[in-house]
Amino acid sequence: MRGGELAGFAVKSLIAVRDRIARAAESAGRDPDWITLIAVSKTHPVSAIQQAYDAGHRDFGESRLQELLPKWEALPKDIRWHFIGTLQSNKAKRAAQLGVVIHTIEGAHQLREIGKGAPPEGLDGLIEVNTTGEHQKSGISPIALDELVSEVLNYPNVRLRGLMTLGHAHRNAEEQRPFFRMLRELNEAMGGTWLSMGMSNDFEVAIQEGSTHVRVGTAIFGERTQA
C-alpha cells in the first residue's frame, strides 16, 4: 500500500475504531471521553500519521526511540507521543527529554535516567506489569510493584499515573479478561488512575475491564510496513 493510500485507509479505520471504543464503553456504563486512543504508528510513515492528525487525532504511540526521533522532529509539536516499547536505560534519558508519556517503566536504573531527562514541568509515566507470567515479556512481577512505586516517589518530575500491561500472546480477547482485571485491581490498590491495556485484537474487553488508554495499531494503520 502506497503512502497516500495508507493515509486514507488510516483515517477511515481511525473513525471505525473510535466507534468501537464508544460502543464498548457504553456497554460497560463508561464515558467514551475518558478513554484515550493511542494510534500505534510504529513502522508506518509520517504521511499516515499526518493524515490522522489532520483528522483531529493527537495521541500516537511508538516503541523504538530511533524511529520516534525523526517523527517527533517532522510532525506537529502538539502531538502527544506515547512510548510503549521496552525502553533501555541508556535511551531512557533521551526519551524523557522529548516529554513523551512513558508506559514501560520497569526498573530503578531506567527510572533514574528518566528522572535526569524529564522536563522541569515533569512527564507522565506508567509502570509495566507482567500480568501473564510469560518469561519473554518485559515488565515487573506484581509482587515487585510496591517497591518500584516507592522508588518513583523519589522523582518528583515523574508523575506516576498508573499501570500498563500486555495481554497473553496466544489467547483470544475474552481469555485476556483475567489479566486485565488483575491490572485494574493492582492499580486500584496503589491509587493509580490510568490503565494502559488493550490492543487491536482485545481493546474492547480491556475497556470493559477499566482501561483508560488503548494502544491500537493494526486496526488503524493495517499490518506493519517493515520488520
Q: Which amino acid is at 108?
A: A
How far is it, in rounded angstroms, from Cα 42 to Cα 63? 7
Return the pLDDT at 1: 43
Q: What is the 3-state secondary structure (H, E, C) of 89-142?
A: HHHHHHHHHCCCEEEEECCHHHHHHHHHHCCCCCEEEEEEECCCCCCCCCCECH
110, 158, 214 from 126: Cα distances, Å: 13, 9, 13
CA–CA gap between residue 213 and residue 118 (Å, rounded): 21
Fold classification of 3-221 is TIM Barrel (3.20.20)
Instruction: Name 162's bridge partners.
Output: 126, 194
| Residue 40 DSSP class | E
CB under 8 Å to 21, separation ≥6 — which residues? 32, 35, 37, 203, 204, 207, 214
As a dihedral over the C-alpha atoms of residue 194, residue 19, residue 74, residue 162, rounded to 10 degrees, the angle is 10
The CA distance from 81 to 96, in Å, is 11
Q: What is the pLDDT along the chain (227 residues), one digit of tens a residue?
A: 454 555 567 788 999 999 999 999 999 999 999 999 999 999 999 999 999 999 999 999 999 999 999 999 999 999 999 999 999 999 999 999 999 999 999 999 999 999 999 999 999 999 999 999 998 889 999 999 999 999 999 999 999 999 999 988 778 999 999 999 999 999 999 999 999 999 999 999 999 999 999 999 999 998 865 54
Best CA proximity match to 34, nearest among 218, 174, 195: 195
Q: Which three cell numbers stand for residue 60?
A: 500516537
Domain ranges of the chain: 3-221
Query: Would you say 138 and 86 are in contact if contact means Cβ atoms under 8 Å apart?
Result: yes
Calpha distance 205→174 (Å, rounded):
7
pTM of the model as a whole? 0.94
- How do 80-83 and 59-62 pair as beta strands? parallel
CB contact at 8 A, 39 and 220: yes
